Amino acid sequence: MASFLTNNVEVVAIVLFSIGFTSLLLHKNLVKKIIGLNIMDTAVDLFLASMGYVQGKTAPIVENGIVEASSYINPLPSGLVLTSIVVSVSVTALMLALTVRLYHRYHTLNVDEIYLLAREEVRRK
């Protein structure tokens, strides 16, 4: 059991997560939404990486043949974060491509306007 001050990295990660999460949900501009998505993803990564950190220990790269568990930090979260970074860059690329396409068609980045335009288009048919 710890508190806000000792778990500072975790708390900051949650704050960042909430900033990203809210702007992904509420921002109307698509590019801003994607920035929010990226902030959310990096916040999750920070949260995960902070779980692996152990005070006063070094990166898990074996040096001088020392293979004692007590001298390195937990390597597993780093591996998971690597995976998570790949996922987030893939998703970002896809979302940006969707944005470019929508902009080509509707000439706006505002989701609401795009939505109205699309509805009207459907009604026309």
Partner 1 sequence: MNLFLWILLGFLVICALAATFHRNLLSTVIIFMGYSVVMSVIWVLLQSPDLAITEAAVGAGVTGVLFFVTLKKIRQVDDEYSEGKKHEEEKQD
Partner 2 sequence: MKKKSRTKNQSLFARIQSFLDSQDDRLTEEMERDEEPEPPHESKLPVWGQTVEGLASGEIRFFDKIYPFAAFLLALFIIAVLLVTASRLPRFGGDSNPALNEVTERYLEDGMEETGAVNLVTGIILDYRAFDTLGESHVLFTAAVAVLVLLFDAATEKQDLLENRDYDLAGDTVFREGVRFLLPVILLFGVYVVLNGHLSPGGGFSGGAILGAGLILHSLGYGFAATEKLVNRKSYGALTVCSLCFYSLSKAYSFFTGANHLPSIITSGVPGRIFSAGLILPLNICVGIVVACTMYGFFSLYKRGRI
Partner 3 sequence: MSWMNDIPLFSLIACLVCAAVSSVLKARAARNVTLGLLTAVFAGAVALTARGVLENTNVTYWMGHYPAPWGNEIRFGILEPFLTALFSGVIAACIVGGNRHLLSDVEEVHLNRYYVMLDLLLAAIQAIAYTNDIFTAYVFVEISTLASCGIMILRHTGRTTLAAVRYMIFSLVGSGLFLMGVIILYDLTGHLLIVPIHEKLVSLAQSGNYHLPMTVSIALMILGLGIKSGMFPFHFWMADTYGASTPASSGILSGVVSKIYIFLAVKVITRVTGTELFYETGLQNVLYGFGIAAMIVASVSALRENDVRRMLAWSSAAQVGYIYMGLGLGTPEAMLAVIYQILAHSLTKALLFLSASSLSDASGGSHSFHDLQGAALRNVPAGIAFTTGALSMVGIPLFMGFVAKYLFMTAALHVENKALLAVVALVVSAILNTAYFLRTVIRLWASEGNERFSPFRPSAGLVAACAVLVLANLAVGYYSQPVISVIQMGINLLG
CA 45 vs CA 55, 60, 75, 93: distances in Å: 19, 18, 14, 18
Is 79 one of the binding residues for partner 2 (CB under 8 A)? yes
DSSP code per residue over 2-52: --TTTTHHHHHHHHHHHHHHHHHHH--BHHHHHHHHHHHHHHHHHHHHHHH
* Residue 10: CB minimum distance to partner 2, A: 4
95-124 residues near partner 2, rule: CB under 8 A = 96-98, 100-101, 103-105, 107-110, 112-113, 115-117, 119-121, 123-124
Among residues 25, 76, 89, 118, the one that binds partner 1 under rule CB under 8 A = 89
Among residues 35, 110, 111, 117, the one that binds partner 1 under rule CB under 8 A = 35
